[in-house]
Amino acid sequence: MQYQELGDSGVEVSEVGFGAWVVGTDWWGDRSEDDALEMIRYAVEQGITYFDTGDVYGHGRSEELVGEALAEFRDEVTIATKVGYDFYNNPQAGHGELPKEMDPEYLRDAVEQSLDRLGVDSVDVLQLHNADVDEITPDVLELLDELEEEGLIDATGLALGPSIGWLAEGDLAIEEEFDSVQLVWNVLEQEVGNHFLETIEETGSSTSLIPRVPHSSGILNEQVTPDTELGEGDHRGFRPDEWYETGWEKLEKLRFLERDGERTMGQASIAWLLSHDPVATVTPTFRTKGDIDEWAAASDVPKLSAEELARVEELYENDFDIDRDDGMDSLRSSVDGADIESAGLDKLAAD
């Protein structure tokens, strides 16, 4: 495992992190809490030190389990959490998005409750959870500065989603020198990540990028195949059938990234993200210890060559020569595509 600094915060993260949205929830299939605790501890044994949770996951239960599992490793790991969804006063309706609350007074209280659940005096990385651009006010920025000065947090971040767009929000975070921006980014979904790379280069910002969903909801690691039936409650079911149908065709055109005995497709998908300098850590969704064994090793597999990177770029620019809609149009932006279109990007990955 290799390690990098998050922004210029001095906070160190493993190049492969642990996305704890699967802990304390059933969004990616059922698992017992004992299994979740064992998975987290096993990840530490494999060199993973970055653990990313959020207060809304399981309405606080994810934080409690992460805190319990990592208590004995506290000095060895980096813990990130997110605040901004008001689950305290609103019931969860399936996978629906809860009302957000970005008032500084609310955020401070949410941070203090997160610290209690995690069982820590400070959190390494605090991320605003899906904040709209007009919610990242001077008062909110001042609060983040205060929390750092008080020693309650060490680094700041913005976690984008659940849509795939949100360009204006990420641009603002980069311009304000947030230490990290978390986003959906993978070989099959490149537009937003590529846009932020340009913003970082243009501004000279030190902001690090944290890609999630590196396997495009199971396509690139082949955990979702044409024969897969997703269980009830499995969060991957939000994607339309057309997404998977085009994705399986694209996967076959990416087989050149595999190297027998040296690099699997699942590892290559992470290694491709890590080939971009601003990427500090990648957070795949681990379902088994086997996933951890394979993907934690992605930090050390042979790096993608210049020729491989160029071929991936060419395939993406030509929509993998697939002239069909992937069904994801309505999911790509928080503002119905206005932010995508204003940046001069095509809203469709395959059109």
Reported as a single tens digit per residue, the pLDDT across 332-346 is 555 455 665 666 655
| Helix spans in 134-276 (H) | 138-149, 167-175, 191-203, 241-253, 265-274
User: What residues are paired with 82 via a beta bridge?
Assistant: 127
Instruction: Count other Cβ atoms within 10 Å, centred on residue 161.
Output: 16
205: left (phi over 0), alpha (psi -120 to 50) or beta: beta
pLDDT tens-digit readout, 138-190? 999 999 999 999 999 999 999 998 666 688 999 999 999 999 999 999 999 89
DSSP letter for each residue of 93-160: -TTPPPPB---HHHHHHHHHHHHHHHT-S-EEEEEEES--GGGS-HHHHHHHHHHHHTTSEEEEEEE-
Angstrom distance (rounded) from CA 15 to CA 300: 10
pLDDT score recorded for residue 322: 87
Q: Are 6 and 280 in contact (CB under 8 A)?
A: yes
Is residue 255 pLDDT above 50, yes or no? Answer: yes
- What distance in Å separates the CA atoms of residue 155 and residue 175, rounded to the nearest whole number? 16
Mean confidence (pLDDT) of the chain: 87
Counting residues of the chain whose pLDDT is more than 70, the rounded percentage is: 82
Q: What is the pLDDT averaged over residues 275-297? A: 95
Give the pLDDT band of residue 223 (cuts 50, 70, 90): confident
CB 211 within 8 A of CB 161: no
Cis check for the bond before 162: say yes or no (omega within 30 of 0): yes
Q: How far apart are CA 102 and CA 263, in angstroms?
A: 42
Residues 30, 220, 58: CA angle, nearest 5 degrees? 25
CB contact set of 218 (below 8 Å; sequence gap of 6+): 224, 228, 236
pLDDT of residue 348: 41
Determine the pLDDT at residue 82. 97
pLDDT surpasses 70 at 247: yes
- What is the rounded CA–CA span in Å between residue 348 and residue 241? 15
Q: Other CB atoms closer than 10 Å to residue 278's CB: what's the count? A: 20
Amino acid at 326: D
| Residue 81 pLDDT > 70 | yes
Distance CA 248, CA 350 (A): 13
Q: What is the pLDDT of residues 90-116, one digit of tens each?
A: 776 555 667 889 999 999 999 999 999
**Cβ contacts of 153 within 8 Å, gap of 6 or more:** 111, 122, 123, 124, 125, 126, 144, 147
On the CB side of 34, how many CA atoms lie within 13 Å of its CA? 0
Q: Single out the residue of 220, 292, 295, 231 nearest to residue 28, CA to CA.
A: 231
User: Is the pLDDT at 88 greater than 90, yes or no?
Assistant: no
Q: How far is 152 from 112, CA to CA, in rounded Å?
A: 9
- Is the pLDDT at 120 greater than 70? The verdict is yes
